[in-house]
């Protein structure tokens, strides 16, 4: 068995529900034949981290080290890992493992994020009972299938921009590819925040006519600069009338009140598709006739699997798609969490380890 470089991994963990993490260390699980150990350089912060840290979601098993978009340097690799050499730069997204078995229906369709044995990057247990921990730390160990090469166009000078592409970026891009967004489609993006500002860029790069919806009129020029064809101010009734029965797709990237979804239906072209990329609070209620007489589909999309994550990075590199970020040293993680929670970060917070960054 290969011995890792980190006998103990030091990180910042939530010990109980709240909005605070504190120094905490753990002994990592042994490096398997197919695993890599990565010394962390950058780790993103997002709403999913906050939901887990605050126990907004069920099943949080404290202590947890959050962070599921990671970039770092491979320092150890298992005996059967041939895709990476020690010293290579690699990224990790929201998943650390899937079974990859020939008989697995999900893995065989490149839908490994839906695999029944999937282990997410933090707060999930492996088959041996060990718990996964994420990127607010000095290092991480994952299955090499879930370590990704960073394209040169990003790695050379833009490495700190990579983490958000492996969470918000892949969630947006994977959903667009799976649902079939194509040139000249009219695509709406609800919520111009951490995911939405990337969704605008991906939709534009796919050739769509992009309609950016926001309650903040100050974001109009910003959205147009990112590639939106139209800006819809959601408090302006004339703006909303202009998209009546117009959209082929509507991607909902922010959490909104469930009652809003009935309004979204009126904006869809016949046969259009509404895609949920953020989980609404509470339950939604619709009359069946709303779908029967419009042909509209309401669906959702989880993060992309291994194949789609690499495609996201490559597509972003080819089309110069980059998130807008604010940087924080790892020891200032609590400051970053507070700003993300208050919605004051534009648009993604990225932590960096000063010792490992160079």
Span 197-215, pLDDT tens digits: 999 999 999 999 999 999 9
Average pLDDT over residues 152-175: 96
Confidence (pLDDT) at 258: 77
Residues 241-283: tens digit of each pLDDT = 999 999 999 999 988 887 788 888 999 999 999 999 987 767 8
Compute the average pLDDT of residues 161-181: 96
Q: Where are the alpha helices (DSSP H) in 114-226?
A: 152-155, 162-164, 170-179, 196-205, 220-226
Question: Which region, left, alpha or beta, applies to residue 340 given φ > 0 means left and ψ of -120 to 50 means alpha?
Answer: alpha
Contact predicate 85/65, CB 8 Å: no
Instruction: Summarize the confidence of residues 34-50 as an average pLDDT.
Output: 95
Q: What is the mean pLDDT of residues 36-44?
A: 98
272-302 tens-digit pLDDT? 999 999 877 678 888 889 899 999 999 998 8
Residue 141: predicted pLDDT: 97
Position 174 pLDDT exceeds 80: yes
The predicted pLDDT at position 41 comes to 97
Average pLDDT (6-26) is 97
Q: Is the pLDDT of residue 144 over 90?
A: yes
For residue 317, pLDDT over 80 is answered with yes
Contact 68, 94 (CB under 8 A): yes
Using the predicted structure, report yes or no on whether residue 358 has a pLDDT greater than 70. no
Q: How confident is the model at residue 319 (pLDDT cuts 50, 70, 90)?
A: very high
Give the model's pLDDT for residue 257: 81
Residue 341 has φ and ψ, to the nearest 5°, of: -65, -35
Mean of per-residue pLDDT scores for the chain? 94
In this prediction, residue 283 carries a pLDDT of 83
Question: Per-residue DSSP letters for 24-78?
Answer: EEEPPPPP-TTEEEEEEEEEEE-HHHHHHHTT-STT--SSB-----EEEEEEEE-
Average pLDDT over residues 3-12: 96
- Segment 321-334 shows an average pLDDT of 97
Whole-angstrom distance, CA of residue 167 vs CA of residue 236: 32
Split at pLDDT 50, 70, 90, the class of 116 is: very high
- The pTM (predicted TM-score) of the whole model is 0.93
User: How much is the pLDDT for 1?
Assistant: 78
Give residue 344's pLDDT band: very low, low, confident or very high (50, 70, 90): very high
Task: State residue 354's pLDDT score.
Answer: 87
Phi-psi region of 59 (alpha: psi -120 to 50; beta: other; left: phi over 0): left
Q: What is the pLDDT of residue 262?
A: 82
* Closest C-alpha to 201, from 90, 312, 280, 349: 312
């Amino acid at each position: 068995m290969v011995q890792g470089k980190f006998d103990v991994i030091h990180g910042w963990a939530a010990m109980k529900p709240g909005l605070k993490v504190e120094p905490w260390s753990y002994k990592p699980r042994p490096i398997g034949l197919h695993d890599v150990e990565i010394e962390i350089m950058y780790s993103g912060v997002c709403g999913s981290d906050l939901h887990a840290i605050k126990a907004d979601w069920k099943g949080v098993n404290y202590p947890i080290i959050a962070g599921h978009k990671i970039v770092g340097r491979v320092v150890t690799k298992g005996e059967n890992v041939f895709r990476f050499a020690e010293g290579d730069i690699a990224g990790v997204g929201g998943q650390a493992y899937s079974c990859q078995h020939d008989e697995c229906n999900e893995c065989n369709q490149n839908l490994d994020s839906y695999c029944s044995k999937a282990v997410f990057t933090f707060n999930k247990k492996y088959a041996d009972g060990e718990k996964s921990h994420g990127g607010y730390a000095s290092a991480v160990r994952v299955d090499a299938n879930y370590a990704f090469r960073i394209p040169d166009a990003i790695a050379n000078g833009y490495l700190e921009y990579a983490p958000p592409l492996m969470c918000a970026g892949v969630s947006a891009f994977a959903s667009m590819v799976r649902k079939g967004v194509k040139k000249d489609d009219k695509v709406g993006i609800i919520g111009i925040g951490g995911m939405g500002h990337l969704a605008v860029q991906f939709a534009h790069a796919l050739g769509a006519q992009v309609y950016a919806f926001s309650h903040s009129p100050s974001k109009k020029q910003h959205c147009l600069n990112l590639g939106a064809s139209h800006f819809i101010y959601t408090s302006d009734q004339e703006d909303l009338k202009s998209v009546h029965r117009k959209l082929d797709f509507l991607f909902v990237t922010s959490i909104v009140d469930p009652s809003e979804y009935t309004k979204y239906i009126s904006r869809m072209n016949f046969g259009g598709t509404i895609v949920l990329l953020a989980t609404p609070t509470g339950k939604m209620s619709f009359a069946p006739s709303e779908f029967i007489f419009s042909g509209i589909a309401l669906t959702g999309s989880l993060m992309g699997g291994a194949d789609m994550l690499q495609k996201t990075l490559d597509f972003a590199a080819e089309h110069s798609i980059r998130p807008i970020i604010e940087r924080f040293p790892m020891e200032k993680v609590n400051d970053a969490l507070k700003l993300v929670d208050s919605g004051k970060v534009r648009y993604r917070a990225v932590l960096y380890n000063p010792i490992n960054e160079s």
